[in-house]
Amino acid sequence: MPDQKPQRMPFVPELGNRDTSDQKDARLVNGFIEILGQDHVNLYKRPGLTEATGGPGTASTGNGVYFWQGDKYAVFGTTLYKNGGSIGTVDAGRYHFSSTLGTPRYLFLSTATKAYYYDGTTLTAVVDVDYPATTVPGSAYLNGVTYVMTPDAAIHGCDTNTPSSWEALNKILAQIEPDGGVALAKQLTYVVALKETSVEVFYDAGNATGSPLSPVQGAKVNYGCRWAESLQDLDGTLIWVGKTRSGPIEVLAMDGLKVQPISNPRVSRLLEAFDGATISSWRAKISGHKFYGITSASTNITLVYDVGQKFWSEWGDSGGGEWSIVAGDFDASGNTLLQHATNGKLATLVPAIATDFGSTFTLDLYTPEYDGETKIIKYLKRMDLVSDIRAGTVSVRFSEDDYTTWSAFRDWDLAQKRPSITDCGSFTRRAWHLRNTDALPLRLKGVEFQIDLGTL
């Protein structure tokens, strides 16, 4: 069948892992897609990272970042920095932030066993005996009151716009189910208590005694939160890794108090291997895309969900490991601000570069196995790479034994008007691995195959 119309393989490499490892089957590493229509997809290399002011710039553990009143606040190690200058020492641990109104306005930050407030001049530890000794990650500010939750699911509140003062009676239990508290958040005008196997929702009822909060009847969710550090608020949508008493691990999204899974069975299989002790997550927005990322440092994987495209991929660093980002926030202009896990730096995402802090990272695309819907041997006469980028190189190799062994790489030269590889051999079933290592942005549209049935 010579001279037939070439077949185009679009780049929609959904995660295809068959078990808890990502080392076989289809996947996309350090890229994202834009779906333009049926069988029309653009694949982009992910944005790079450039250093932003606000960190110490020397090796230090990233423990949280927050943008407040025009300034960048970040905990590195046991120091709280404001725009890169130290404003005080804090206890070790991962910090979560909120803020208040009133005069003065306060920045509130807390870890499992300690809380602090900052009035723009002085950083002070919360020492009130009515502040709980142990809290779960997260706090929620609602109508002047800052709330925190304990592992036994008790929600405590402070005096109005006064995080230094906490009342023993300002407490309510999230007790529809007898499971423990995991994380606390806010959505719309509600305080959201994420527990081990359920979620409960509270509103400000203006109660004259005790807690101002009362439960929202009928708003209970039969999903819990597996890892508190997986929780992110992305433009009012809460995203976290959840669980039920009997079901698999799933990534969940709550929008308008309604919860739905956004993961698939392949993502769940990868999450099953994650180590909860090394979990971190982040959020980002760039070029019209919203991303949620979750990392297990010990498993060496960062999974990234594109909210608009409903697409999962993996992102990694220049050494092939996980993408070492532990927290993120947005500045007044909506630019993404990200915190590195270990190098003491804050960063912003930049689509026009393909390096992280000057180090080049690699885009890898592993396709599903392809047989052309026939077991007949096929001869691949030509492979044309479809791209509108005219600089750099994309390399390709193939496997015909279930991703076990690979051929040598061959290169497409993007400077050519029609980047092509010819005489690509005969096969029955084949998977391809495309790789780009250039420190340049990249956009690809697909690969066109000129295939004849039979062998040559």
Tell me which of 67-76, 128-137, 181-190, 364-373 is least confident.
364-373
Phi, psi of 3 (to 5 degrees): 60, 25
pLDDT on residue 1: 43
Torsion sign, CA atoms 396, 398, 403, 406: negative
- Decide if 145 contacts 212 (C-beta within 8 A): yes
- Output the six-digit token pair for 69: 């009143």
Considering only CA atoms, which of 160, 159, 149 is closest in space to residue 195? Answer: 149
pLDDT range class, residue 10, cuts 50, 70, 90: low
Measured CA to CA, the distance from residue 233 to residue 254 in angstroms comes to: 9
* Cβ contacts of 358 within 8 Å, gap of 6 or more: none
Q: Which long-range contacts (CB under 8 A, 24 or more apart) does 318-323 make?
A: 318/355, 318/356, 318/359, 318/360, 318/361, 318/362, 320/362, 322/295, 322/296, 322/297, 323/293, 323/295
Report the run of H or E that residue 266 belongs to, with start and end.
Answer: helix 265-271
Considering only CA atoms, which of 380, 363, 372 is closest in space to residue 456? Answer: 380
Q: What does each C-alpha distance from 9 to 1, 93, 230, 263, 360 come to in angstroms?
A: 19, 47, 34, 24, 27
Overall pTM > 0.85 = yes
What's the mean pLDDT in 46-63? 95
Considering only CA atoms, which of 423, 394, 419, 420 is closest in space to residue 409? Answer: 394
Tracing tokens 């490991």 back to the chain, one arrives at: 321
- Whole-number mean pLDDT of the chain? 94
pLDDT on residue 245: 84
Tracing tokens 């927290």 back to the chain, one arrives at: 327
Kindly list the domain boundaries of the chain, sorted by start residue: 7-43+364-453, 48-359
pLDDT on residue 374: 86
Measured CA to CA, the distance from residue 447 to residue 450 in angstroms comes to: 10
The DSSP secondary-structure symbol of 131 reads S
- Decide if 357 contacts 343 (C-beta within 8 A): yes
Strands (E), 363-406: 363-366, 378-387, 393-399
pLDDT single digits (tens) 394-417: 999 999 999 999 999 999 999 998
Phi, psi of 385 (to 5 degrees): -85, 125
pLDDT on residue 78: 98
Report the run of H or E that residue 80 belongs to, with start and end.
Answer: strand 79-82
- Output the six-digit token pair for 50: 């450039």
CATH number for 48-359 (one of 3.10.440.10, 3.40.50.2300, 2.130.10.10, 2.40.160.40): it is 2.130.10.10
Measured CA to CA, the distance from residue 383 to residue 449 in angstroms comes to: 5
Considering only CA atoms, which of 191, 207, 112 is closest in space to residue 151? Answer: 112
pLDDT single digits (tens) 215-235: 999 899 999 999 999 999 999
Torsion sign, CA atoms 69, 70, 75, 79: negative
Phi, psi of 233 (to 5 degrees): -110, 110
The architecture that CATH gives domain 7-43+364-453 is Sandwich (2.60)
pLDDT on residue 266: 94
Measured CA to CA, the distance from residue 372 to residue 361 in angstroms comes to: 32
Tracing tokens 């270990």 back to the chain, one arrives at: 342
Is 335's pLDDT higher than 70?
Answer: yes
Q: How many H helices and E strands in the chain?
A: 1, 43
The yes-or-no answer to whether 7-43+364-453 and 48-359 have a common fold is no
